[in-house]
C-alpha cells in the first residue's frame, strides 16, 4: 500500500511536469503562429513578383548567371533517361547537367551511354574536393551541356562533391535524380539575381508528387493524393514550405535548403569543403555550415527561400518507409545541432545563432521528447486522478486544434497565392487531411523521431532503404 503522502508527492510532481509541457506547447505554438504572421507579407511580396509578366521576361534574359545542375544517381536505370532530359530541357538560358553515377549496381551508365551517345573524355578539371575514385568521365555527342561522371560508390554527399569539382559555372543546383522540376522553376529560383540581391544560396518549394500525373519527367496535372499517408504529407509540406520557411527569410535565414532542390554559389561551397560525407542529412549540415562560414567572415549574403519555384518529389507511401525517413531526418538534425552547438545562443552568429538555432534545438529537436512526455503524463494523470477529464480532453482538443488551425491556414495561403491544385475536390481533400493530420499522423511521426535519439547515441550512420514506387506511367486520380 502506497502511503497517502507519497501519492500526494506524485500528484504534485505530475502537475508540475504537466504544467511544463503546457507552457512548452503554448510557447511553441505561439511561435508557429508568429511564423505564420511573419510569412504573410513575404508571401504577398513573392506572389506579386512571381505573377509579374515583365519579370518573367527579365528572367528569360541571357544575362542570368550560368548554372551547373548536380545530379547524384544510384540505381536509377528505369527513370534516368527521362530525368536527364527533363533537366536538360529546363527553361534557363545557360546551364549544364553534371550527372554522377555513384557506383550503381544496375545499368544506369549503360542506359546513359546509349540514350545520349556518350563518349569518354579525359577528366579535364581539377579535383578540388577528394572523393571516391573516378572511373570515367563522359560527354554527349548530342548535348554539349551534359557531363556524366562514373565513380565508385561513396554516397550522395560524395557524388555531389564529385559534381561540384567538375562544375564550370558559378552557381550549382543540387537535385535528386528522381526530383521532378517544373520547367520554369530554375528561372524563378534565379529571381534574387534579377532583383540584385547578394545570395549565397536559394531554396525552392518541394511538393508531393504522389497521385500527380507525370509525363516525361514533368508534373502535368497536380493532384492531392487520396491515400491518407501521402495526403497528410501534402498538408505537412505545404505548412513547412508555405509559411515555415518563408517566415525564416525575415528571421535570420533558413537552416534547411532542401537537398532535392537548392541553388548555391559554387565558390562558397568549395570554401567550406563541399558536402560532408557521413552525415545522413547532408543538406541541413551544408546550410548550417554555410551560415557559419558567412557569419565568421562577415559576408553579407542571404540564404532566402522562394515559394514559387517548385520541384515535386515522391513521399513515402508506407509507414515503414516513412518511419525510416523521419528517424533519419531527426538523427541528422541531432548530429547537425551537436556539431554546431557553438552557434547556439551565440550573438556572433546574429539571428541564426540567437533565433534560428534555438528554435531548431528547443522547438524541433526536443519536440518529440516533450510531446511524448505530455501524452504520457496526461494519461498517467488521468489514471491516478491528478488531472480532471474535462481538463485533459480540452488540453488534447486545443493541442490538436492548434495544429489543425495552422494546417488549414497553410491551405488558405496556397489557395490565395499559387493555387497549384485547381480542382475543388483537391481543396476539399486538403482541408480533410488538415484535420486528419493532427489525429494520428503527427503522433506517429513523433514516435519515429523519438527513435532517432536512441540510434544517434548508438552511433548508427545508415540511411535505411528508401523504396519508392516511381513515376512511370503514373496517372492522376
Q: Contact positions toward another protein, by CB under 8 A?
A: 11-12, 14-15, 18-19, 22, 48-49, 52, 54-55, 57-58, 61-64, 66, 94, 117, 119, 121-122, 124, 139-145, 193-196, 381, 386-388, 390-391, 394-395, 397-398, 401-402, 404-405, 408-409, 411-412, 415-416, 424, 427, 431
In the bound state with another protein, the residue whose beta carbon lies nearer, of 76 and 96, is: 96
Q: Are residues 130 and 235 in contact, defined by beta-carbon separation less than 8 angstroms? A: no
In the bound state with another protein, the residue whose beta carbon lies nearer, of 195 and 319, is: 195
In the bound state with another protein, the residue whose beta carbon lies nearer, of 10 and 361, is: 10
In the bound state with another protein, the residue whose beta carbon lies nearer, of 55 and 272, is: 55
Calpha distance 255→262 (Å, rounded): 12
Minimum gap (Å) between residue 289 Cβ and another protein: 29
Neighbouring CB atoms inside 10 A of 173's CB total 28
In the bound state with another protein, the residue whose beta carbon lies nearer, of 169 and 468, is: 169
Minimum gap (Å) between residue 256 Cβ and another protein: 27
In the bound state with another protein, the residue whose beta carbon lies nearer, of 343 and 410, is: 410
Minimum gap (Å) between residue 57 Cβ and another protein: 7
The enclosing H or E element of 216 equals: none
CB burial of residue 363 (10 Å; 0-12, 13-18, 19+): middle
In the bound state with another protein, the residue whose beta carbon lies nearer, of 107 and 145, is: 145
Calpha distance 223→213 (Å, rounded): 8
Q: Where are the alpha helices (DSSP H) in 207-261?
A: 228-239, 246-248
Minimum gap (Å) between residue 382 Cβ and another protein: 11
Calpha distance 219→311 (Å, rounded): 9
Beta bridge partners of 313: 208
Q: Look at residues 397, 409, 414, 404 and name the one whose alpha carbon lies nearest to residue 434.
A: 404
In the bound state with another protein, the residue whose beta carbon lies nearer, of 61 and 467, is: 61
Which three cell numbers mark 6? 507519497
Minimum gap (Å) between residue 449 Cβ and another protein: 25
Minimum gap (Å) between residue 105 Cβ and another protein: 28
Three-state secondary structure call for residue 138: strand
Minimum gap (Å) between residue 121 Cβ and another protein: 5
In the bound state with another protein, the residue whose beta carbon lies nearer, of 137 and 343, is: 137
Buried b (16+ CB within 10 A) or exposed e, 213-236: bbeebbbeebbbbeeebbbbbbbb
Minimum gap (Å) between residue 34 Cβ and another protein: 16
β-pair type (305-313, 201-208): parallel
Q: Are residues 206 and 236 in contact, defined by beta-carbon separation less than 8 angstroms? A: no
Where do the DSSP E strands lie in 131-243? 134-140, 146-151, 171-175, 180-181, 201-208, 213-215, 218-221
β-pair type (134-140, 218-221): unpaired
What distance lies between CA 218 and its chain's CA centroid?
19
φ/ψ of residue 270, rounded to 5: -65, -40
The enclosing H or E element of 185 equals: helix 185-189
Minimum gap (Å) between residue 17 Cβ and another protein: 9
Calpha distance 94→11 (Å, rounded): 67
In the bound state with another protein, the residue whose beta carbon lies nearer, of 15 and 444, is: 15
Minimum gap (Å) between residue 211 Cβ and another protein: 21
In the bound state with another protein, the residue whose beta carbon lies nearer, of 86 and 352, is: 86
In the bound state with another protein, the residue whose beta carbon lies nearer, of 260 and 386, is: 386
DSSP characters for 402-438?
Answer: HHHHHHHHHHHHHHHTT----SHHHHHHHHHHHHHII
Q: Are residues 329 and 271 in contact, defined by beta-carbon separation less than 8 angstroms? A: no
Minimum gap (Å) between residue 187 Cβ and another protein: 12
Minimum gap (Å) between residue 293 Cβ and another protein: 26
Amino acid at each position: 500500500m502506497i502511503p497517502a503522502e507519497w501519492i500526494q508527492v506524485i500528484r504534485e510532481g505530475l502537475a508540475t511536469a504537466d504544467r511544463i509541457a503546457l507552457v512548452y506547447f503554448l510557447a511553441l505554438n505561439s511561435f508557429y503562429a508568429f511564423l505564420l504572421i511573419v510569412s504573410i507579407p513575404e508571401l504577398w511580396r513573392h506572389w506579386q513578383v512571381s505573377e509579374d509578366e515583365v519579370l518573367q521576361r527579365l528572367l528569360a534574359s541571357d544575362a542570368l548567371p550560368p548554372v551547373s545542375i548536380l545530379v547524384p544517381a544510384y540505381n536509377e536505370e528505369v527513370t534516368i533517361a527521362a530525368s536527364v532530359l527533363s533537366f536538360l530541357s529546363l527553361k534557363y538560358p545557360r546551364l549544364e547537367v553534371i550527372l554522377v553515377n555513384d557506383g550503381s549496381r544496375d545499368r544506369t551508365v549503360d542506359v546513359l551511354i546509349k540514350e545520349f551517345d556518350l563518349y569518354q573524355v579525359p577528366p579535364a578539371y581539377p579535383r578540388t574536393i577528394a572523393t571516391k575514385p573516378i572511373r570515367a568521365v563522359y560527354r554527349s555527342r548530342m548535348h554539349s551541356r551534359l557531363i556524366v561522371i562514373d565513380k565508385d560508390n561513396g554516397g550522395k554527399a560524395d557524388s555531389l562533391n564529385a559534381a561540384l569539382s567538375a562544375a564550370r559555372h558559378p552557381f550549382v543546383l543540387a537535385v535528386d535524380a528522381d526530383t521532378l522540376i517544373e520547367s520554369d522553376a530554375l528561372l524563378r529560383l534565379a529571381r534574387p539575381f534579377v532583383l540584385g540581391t547578394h545570395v549565397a544560396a536559394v531554396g525552392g518549394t518541394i511538393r508531393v508528387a504522389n497521385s500527380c500525373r507525370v509525363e516525361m519527367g514533368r508534373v502535368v496535372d497536380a493532384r492531392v493524393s487520396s491515400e491518407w499517408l501521402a495526403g497528410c504529407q501534402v498538408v505537412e509540406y505545404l505548412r513547412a514550405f508555405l509559411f515555415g520557411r518563408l517566415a525564416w527569410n525575415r528571421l535570420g535565414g533558413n537552416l534547411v535548403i532542401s537537398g532535392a532542390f537548392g541553388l548555391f554559389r559554387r565558390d562558397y561551397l568549395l570554401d567550406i569543403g563541399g558536402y560532408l560525407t557521413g552525415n545522413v542529412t547532408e543538406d541541413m549540415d551544408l546550410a548550417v555550415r554555410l551560415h557559419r562560414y558567412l557569419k565568421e567572415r562577415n559576408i553579407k549574403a542571404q540564404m532566402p527561400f522562394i515559394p514559387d519555384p517548385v520541384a515535386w518529389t515522391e513521399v513515402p507511401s508506407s509507414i515503414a518507409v516513412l518511419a525510416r525517413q523521419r528517424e533519419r531526418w531527426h538523427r541528422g538534425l541531432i548530429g547537425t545541432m551537436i556539431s554546431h552547438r557553438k552557434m547556439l545562443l551565440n550573438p556572433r552568429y546574429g539571428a541564426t545563432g540567437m533565433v534560428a538555432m534555438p528554435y531548431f534545438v528547443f522547438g524541433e529537436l526536443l519536440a518529440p521528447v516533450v510531446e511524448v512526455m505530455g501524452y504520457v503524463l496526461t494519461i498517467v494523470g488521468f489514471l491516478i486522478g491528478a488531472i480532471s477529464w474535462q481538463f485533459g480532453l480540452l488540453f488534447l482538443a486545443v493541442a490538436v486544434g492548434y495544429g489543425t488551425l495552422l494546417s488549414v491556414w497553410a491551405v488558405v495561403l496556397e489557395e490565395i497565392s499559387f493555387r497549384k491544385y485547381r480542382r475543388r475536390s483537391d481543396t476539399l481533400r486538403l482541408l480533410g487531411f488538415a484535420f486528419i493530420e493532427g489525429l494520428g499522423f503527427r503522433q506517429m511521426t513523433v514516435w519515429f523521431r523519438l527513435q532517432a535519439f536512441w540510434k544517434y547515441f548508438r552511433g548508427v550512420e545508415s540511411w535505411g532503404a528508401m523504396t519508392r514506387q516511381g513515376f512511370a506511367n503514373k496517372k492522376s486520380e
